[in-house]
């Protein structure tokens, strides 16, 4: 495995909605071959500077890639939840950040199929917008379900790729359907040919339970999350024990983060 670390310049870094911010970085051409579901490690300083802590990397999915006059840019959609992400939100245009990537195995859509169902929970929407873009480009039918606790945490509909059918689900009913993403997943299982999900583990487990309940053999690819210290297979902080894994322990950062849901959850 070749690891690529670089210093990237912040092109823009804006607050988008709720706790969520969007940062665009100018990066090397290496990211041209990256795919949705892959991630990078961004080295963060301590926003509070209350104690001296080593600069650890934070894992972030690649939100999108764009080119501007020959320069390659990648987006990171992130929630400010702690020291590192607070530091990220304070970086202004032209600031330099250290990134390591692209890392991991991303989604593997079967472009010969027709209808694709994407389900994001909270900030789990981050890698799905780019995936939706790629699928729409191939003229595939795309429905994107985004679930969150309330309307403030739902991705702005106006920024979605055109031709994507969007279903918002909130636990408090403040936007879209009231409830959990398992309801539209159940409803759309028949329509979909392949599904992709990213969100908290219990959500991924619940989606797999629905899939099993209907004895559906259609593939559900999930992006797993874990606290990651290295991002490239050395520290074992992201170890999982898939139910159907033959090798026992697997690493989310290098074996994933994309896994077949039945492989992980049975």
Residues that bind ligand FAD (CB under 6 A): 39, 58-61, 77-79, 81-85, 123, 126, 225-228, 257
Which CB sits closer to ligand FAD, 105 or 212? 105
Q: How far apart are the C-alpha atoms of 183 and 174, rounded to whole Å? A: 17
Among 8, 119, 223, 238, binds ligand FES (CB under 6 A): 238
Question: What part of residues 89-118 is at the interface with ligand FES (CB under 6 A)?
Answer: none
Residue 144: contacted member of ligand FES, ligand FAD, none (CB under 5 to 8 Å, by partner type): none
Nearest-approach distance from CB 15 to ligand FAD, in angstroms: 13
237 binds, among ligand FES, ligand FAD, none (CB under 5 to 8 A by kind): ligand FES
Residue among 88 and 142 whose Cβ is closer to ligand FAD = 88
Applying CB under 6 A, among 84, 231, 242, 256 the residue interacting with ligand FES is 231
Three-state SS annotation for 207-231: HHHHHHHCCCCCCEEEECCCCCCCC
- Binds 148, which of ligand FAD, ligand FES, none (CB < 5 to 8 A, cut-off by type)? none
Residue 77 touches which member of ligand FAD, ligand FES, none, C-beta under 5-8 Å by kind? ligand FAD
Q: Angle CA(102)–CA(14)–CA(93) in degrees, nearest 5?
A: 75
Give min distance, CB of 256 to ligand FAD, in A. 8
Point out which span in 67-75, 143-151, 186-194, 234-242 binds ligand FES (CB under 6 A).
Answer: 234-242
With CB under 5 to 8 Å by kind, the binding choice for 157 among ligand FAD, ligand FES, none is: none
Residues 6+ positions from 113 with CB-CB distance below 8 Å: 140, 193, 194
Task: Give the one entry of ligand FES, ligand FAD, none that residue 58 binds, where binding means its C-beta sits below a cut-off of 5 to 8 angstroms depending on kind.
Answer: ligand FAD
Residue 230 binds to ligand FES (criterion: CB under 6 A): yes
The item of ligand FAD, ligand FES, none sharing an interface with residue 225, based on CB under 5 to 8 Å by kind, is: ligand FAD
Task: Give the whole-angstrom CA distance, residue 71 versus residue 51.
Answer: 37
Contact set with ligand FES (CB under 6 A):
228-231, 233-238, 251, 253
């Amino acid at each position: 495995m070749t690891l690529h670390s670089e210093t990237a310049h912040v092109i823009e870094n804006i607050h988008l909605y709720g706790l969520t911010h969007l940062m665009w970085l100018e990066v090397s051409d290496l990211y041209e071959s990256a795919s949705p579901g892959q991630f990078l490690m961004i080295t963060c300083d301590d926003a509070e500077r209350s104690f001296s802590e080593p600069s650890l990397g934070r894992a972030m999915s690649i939100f999108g890639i764009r080119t501007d006059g020959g320069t390659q840019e990648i987006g990171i959609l992130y929630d400010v939840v702690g020291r590192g992400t607070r530091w990220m939100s304070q970086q202004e245009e032209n600031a330099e950040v250290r990134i390591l990537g692209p890392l991991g195995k991303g989604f593997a859509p079967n472009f010969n199929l027709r209808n694709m169902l994407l389900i994001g929970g909270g900030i789990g929407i981050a890698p799905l917008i780019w995936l939706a873009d790629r699928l729409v480009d191939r003229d595939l039918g795309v429905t994107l379900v985004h679930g969150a606790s309330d309307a403030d945490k739902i991705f702005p509909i106006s920024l979605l790729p055109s031709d994507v059918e969007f279903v918002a689900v909130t636990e408090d009913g403040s936007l879209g359907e009231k409830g959990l993403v398992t309801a539209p997943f159940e409803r759309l299982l028949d329509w979909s040919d392949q599904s992709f999900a990213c969100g908290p583990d219990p959500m991924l487990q619940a989606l797999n339970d629905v899939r099993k309940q209907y004895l559906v053999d259609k593939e559900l690819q999930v992006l797993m999350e874990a606290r990651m210290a290295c991002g490239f297979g050395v520290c074992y902080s992201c170890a999982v024990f898939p139910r159907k894994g033959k090798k026992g322990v697997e690493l989310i950062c290098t074996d994933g983060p994309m896994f077949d849901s039945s492989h992980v959850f049975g």
